[in-house]
Chain A
Amino acid sequence: MLKKDFIDDEKIWEEINGGKNSTKEEIREIFKKSEQKIRLEPEETAKLLHIEDEELLEEMYELANKIKIDVYGKRIVFFAPLYVGNKCINNCIYCGFRRDNKSIERRTLTMEELRKEAKIMIDAGHKRSIMVYGEHPAYDADFMAETIRQVYSVKSNNGELRRVNINAAPLDIEGYKKLNEAGIGTFQIFQETYHHETYKKIHPEGDRKSDYQWRLYGLDRAIKAGIDDVGIGVLFGLYDWKFEIMGLLHHAIHLEQNFNGVGPHTISFPRIEPALDTPYTQNPEYKVSNKDFKKVIAIIRLSVPYTGMILTARESPEVRNEMIPIGISQIDAGSRVGIGGYNEYESGSVPDKEQFQLGDLRSLDEVIRDICKMGFIPSFCTAGYRAGRTGEKFMSLCKPGLVHNFCMPNAILTFKEYLLDYASEETKAMGEIAIKNNLADLTPERKKDVEIKIKLIESGERDVYI
């Protein structure tokens, strides 16, 4: 008999059901608490899950955007994934990379290919990447640490990848220590689904991934090994979205309670997408509609106001444009999710044998233009983790909504770099307006500081940050 973990399925359903039939007044009281950037309790989040009233929904979406801006400012951080290898010992029924999928060509990048991928990303203007690995003995901690060092070593013209985050299978403490030694940013583990029974059903028994608790406590071990920025996530569409939001919240609370108030650095909420020869993905029972997805995003923002929220290019441009202004703080762009996908794309082919299908194939430059049009400012900032703003320190800035004092100047500075080194003429023109507008929002003293640093960038200096 397994010991109980901090996800109590029955209790979560009780909380969800207990949240039904709330009055508008009750809901607005919860809004007020979120507005003060206080993390919600499960009973409060449960009430938000049942909002159907259009007026309240609109209020919630507006508030989600306000909270995000209060905490992080108007910046949207950009990154791109780098898929290192798709060998996998697991047979998860929803995944294109599952062991028994013979339609997928199994491949692991050589170090040379890896550097080539990194160079293409750098030449597009990226500064931040998330490296993704299947779960396989070939991708042990030593291998991952070496790939991280290789990627960090690549320089091209003025560019380099300044922050490498990791999305990989859970490791033991010794393994995490090796990654920490290589200087990673955030370590992400998505629980996929928090619902025990569903987890068991979709992760065949005997597979390494079938151990729910090994995965659930994977980030605890990462933190114990010294990685104090961790990301959680769910693959929406595997189980009821209301339950999954509660699971994410309970996970955030678990981390806060066990690690000096340090909650998740980021929360991700990908929706299941069709994948090659993966029937489960064609019509999943718990598919989340766009309408509900919008609620998912806003409720997460209100429930965990301090966290970074990541919306990926799985989603179409239309969906992304609709969802970004309700609390999103990070997006990827110009992404390729195949092994060697950047190089293949440069050579003129769009790979179809990927883990899932991308919904947004726009270039980084195009997405940046759209972000500017929406009134946000693109950011390539990687300063925080290089200036000691990690773990408890990062939380002490995020929770009271102060981190924007770093985020906005660094967004302007890194975006200026992008405009000078990589942007098309059209994006440059639009970007300069965005910089001017966002400079105007800074305090006079801060504005002066940033303008001095912009001059340094214009004179050729790079990696200028606060």
Chain B
Amino acid sequence: MYIYKKEDLEIFIKNTTKKALEIKNFDQAMKYALKTTTDYYTDTQMSFAEKRGKRISFISGYGKESFKPVEINTLVDKYVLLLQNIDNVNKDEKEKVVNMFKLIVQNR
């Protein structure tokens, strides 16, 4: 289990969201958020993708490949966040991270 002080996560999310929203190019904003978050949660992998029927098309992603199943989280409409090797992050933290990405996508 990763252990972070609660205030650290809050600060991380606040800072990452603020910076990502400042980046005008949506693609770059998502890349920044993905890179920063996978640096924060080392050994994980996070990808941003688009779901069309059964197909989930990769758009961008960062982190370490662990060849484990991905967890699919819907962000907005067809956009999804794929999380790999995230079992060690507790549910509340994970929810906060997913919500951060939702916010970035909603404000694109």
Contacts and interface: CB of A to CB of B under 8 A. Distances in A.
Contacts of B55: 180, 183-185, 385-386, 390
Contacts of B68: 466
Contact of A389 (B53, B54, B58, B72): B58
B57 A387 contact: no
B56 A385 contact: yes
Contacts, number: 67
Interface string B73-101: 00000001010000000000000000000
Which size bracket describes the interface of A in this complex?
Answer: 20 to 34
B65 A394 contact: no
Given A393-B47, A406-B67, A466-B68, A385 B61 contact: no
A387 B69 contact: yes
Interface centre among B56, B72, B80, by most chain A C-beta atoms within 10 angstroms, is B56
Nearest to A443: B67
Contacts of A152: 53-54
A393 B57 CA distance: 9
Which size bracket describes the interface of B in this complex?
Answer: 10 to 19
Interface in A215-262: 226, 228
B34 interface: no
A181 B57 CA distance: 11
Contacts of B69: 387, 465-466
Contacts of A406: 67
Contacts of B72: 387
A448 interface: no
Contacts of B58: 228, 388-394
Interface of B: 47, 49-50, 52-58, 61, 65, 67-70, 72, 80, 82
30 contacts: A152-B53, A180-B52, A182-B52, A183-B52, A183-B55, A184-B53, A185-B55, A226-B52, A226-B57, A228-B58, A385-B56, A386-B54, A386-B56, A387-B56, A387-B69, A387-B82, A388-B47, A388-B70, A388-B80, A388-B82, A389-B58, A390-B56, A390-B58, A391-B58, A393-B58, A397-B65, A402-B65, A405-B67, A466-B68, A466-B69
